[in-house]
């Protein structure tokens, strides 16, 4: 599958690498005991360490380390037992220390990979270069005052895992699929909540273009994109911009750019030539981090079944299509819900009910799966009633609607409303006889070779029986009567 972009002078290949900043799920910060809750009053979750008061010393949060290692293991990456914290020096109002504590030459996690599921059903392996731990900066608000920026340090010092990919992606769709898969993995292991609206996951995109087969072009980095939709827009805009410059005879200058969501464009952010001169050096306040191999092994044992493994198992054990399996495993909760529904039942039927009926209703009512008025056990009960012919599939939809409204269980609704399927051949036969006798025209048509008219007869029988007649019996009886 080629994913080239057309320019005026020929085809171009887009090359994308992503740096995703994922906030590690911890109650307190990477180097201080201040809280990390989202949405608190400004500067109320700031310790003297986060505010960089003189003489304060950072002390490492053991859960931050654990989350980073767990994430590395889930990305099939090399865990570096020895890693070093370094200072990345730059000045900005929301960075009180004047440097960010990060990791540079010796990160905690080395090379790994992610299998990305593409929209066309194909998969692609994207390399992970590294994952390192670092502090988040504070937040600057530029829209509170005409001449001032407002600074809130609540986020300063929160644990970030910066996950750097190889430049392996070739389209905005691949980049989006990569972020979705990474998010799914992080949520499975609980190392990051993946909430892009609240800034728990942000992406920087490195984008360059080249003629197919040519060496890599000069890249531009688009900073801090906070939704998958914006990421796609930013990459597409940026690639088109670069192609136009080169086709006009210009050159791309390496720079940092900002995505303006309102205008749908990227624009230059830091033009100073020394913007990237961070003068990293090992942080003298922090000893190197040495991990016990046993600690890493225990975390490896504790990894849950991850999306790829679960998907493979769903395809093998439940005979689901790769697409259905992919949808069901994207969120751990969805996969667990499905498995409870499918337990001891027809898996394909369970998948259909979960994906089309239940998801459809939940989306429409804007209810999260965890708050579903129909429990997985109740939905399983409904599917059981279909499977043992107590109700027809058509009646089941009405029963499901009522379950969704009232939270009642399927068997109780069927009993109370008398919706049990009519499987008594004699009773159905009587109705069939009456309808066949009452419409000689249609009978003649059928006998004249118009087989489709049988649909009309089935409809009439169903109408008479309020949909309760067993469809298979109705069909069999009609064919017998009409054919005879």
- Evaluate the CA torsion angle 393, 369, 177, 260 in order and state its sign: positive
How many CB atoms neighbour CB 267 within 10 A?
12
Q: Reduce the secondary structure of 232-267 to three states and give it as a string.
A: HHHHHHHHHHHHHHHHCCCCCCCEEEEEECCCCEEE
Residue 265 gets the label, from left (phi > 0), alpha (psi -120 to 50) or beta, of beta
Neighbours of 199 (CB within 10 A): 16
Asked if 305 and 277 count as a contact pair (C-beta separation under 8 A), the reply is: no
CB atoms within 10 A of CB 126: 23
Q: What is the dihedral of CA 89, 90, 92, 98, to 10 degrees?
A: 30
Q: Which is nearer to another protein, 91 or 484 (CB)?
A: 91
Beta strands across the sheet bearing 281-282: 99-103, 85-89, 281-282
How many residues are given for the chain? Answer: 484
Nearest 5°: CA angle at 163, between 157 and 165? 155
Nearest-approach distance from CB 85 to another protein, in angstroms: 9
Under the rule (CB under 8 A), what is the footprint of another protein?
26-28, 32-35, 41-49, 51, 59-65, 89, 91-93, 140-142, 144-153, 258, 269-270, 274, 277, 279, 282, 286-290
Could you say which DSSP state residue 355 is in? I
CB of 204 vs another protein, minimal distance in Å: 14
């Amino acid at each position: 599958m080629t994913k080239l972009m057309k320019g005026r002078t020929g085809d171009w290949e887009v090359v994308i690498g992503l740096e995703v900043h994922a906030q590690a799920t911890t109650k307190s910060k990477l180097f201080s005991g201040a809280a990390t809750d989202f949405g608190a009053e400004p500067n109320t979750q700031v310790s003297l360490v986060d505010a960089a008061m003189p003489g304060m010393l950072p002390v490492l949060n053991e859960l931050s380390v654990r989350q980073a290692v767990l994430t590395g293991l889930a990305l099939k990456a090399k865990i570096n037992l020895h890693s070093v914290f370094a200072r990345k020096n730059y000045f900005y109002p929301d960075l009180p220390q004047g440097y960010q504590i990060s990791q540079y030459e010796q990160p905690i996690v080395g090379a790994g990979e992610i299998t990305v599921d593409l929209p066309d059903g194909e998969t692609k392996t994207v390399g992970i270069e590294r994952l390192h731990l670092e502090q988040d900066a504070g937040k600057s608000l530029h829209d509170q005052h005409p001449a001032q920026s407002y600074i809130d340090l609540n986020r300063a010092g929160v644990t970030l895992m910066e996950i750097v990919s190889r430049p392996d992606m070739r389209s905005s769709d691949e980049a989006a699929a990569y972020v979705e898969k990474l998010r799914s993995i992080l949520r499975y292991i609980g190392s990051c909540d993946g909430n892009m609206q609240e800034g728990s996951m942000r992406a920087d995109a490195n984008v360059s273009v080249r003629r197919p087969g040519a060496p890599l072009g000069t890249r531009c980095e688009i900073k801090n994109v906070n939704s998958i939709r914006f990421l796609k827009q930013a990459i597409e805009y940026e690639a088109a911009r670069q192609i136009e410059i080169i086709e006009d005879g210009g050159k791309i200058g390496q720079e940092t750019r900002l995505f303006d969501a309102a205008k749908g464009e990227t624009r230059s952010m830091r033009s100073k030539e020394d913007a990237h001169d961070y003068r990293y050096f090992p942080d003298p306040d922090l000893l190197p981090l040495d991990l016990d191999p046993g600690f890493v092994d225990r975390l490896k044992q504790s990894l849950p079944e991850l999306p790829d493994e679960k998907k493979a198992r769903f395809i093998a054990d439940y005979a689901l299509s790769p697409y259905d399996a992919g949808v069901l495993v994207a969120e751990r909760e969805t996969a667990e819900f499905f498995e409870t529904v499918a337990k001891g039942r027809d898996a394909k039927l369970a998948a259909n009910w979960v994906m089309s009926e239940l998801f459809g209703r939940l989306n429409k009512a804007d209810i999260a799966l965890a708050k579903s008025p129909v429990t997985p056990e109740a939905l399983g009960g409904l599917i059981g009633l279909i499977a043992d012919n107590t109700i027809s599939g058509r009646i089941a939809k009405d029963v499901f609607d009522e379950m969704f409204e009232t939270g009642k269980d399927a068997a109780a609704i069927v009993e109370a409303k008398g919706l049990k399927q009519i499987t008594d051949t004699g009773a159905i036969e009587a109705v069939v006889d009456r309808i066949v006798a009452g419409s000689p025209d249609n009978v003649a048509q059928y006998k004249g070779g118009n087989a489709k008219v049988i649909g009309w007869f089935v409809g009439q029988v169903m109408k008479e029986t309020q949909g309760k007649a067993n469809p298979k019996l109705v069909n069999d009886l009609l064919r017998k009567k009409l054919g005879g």
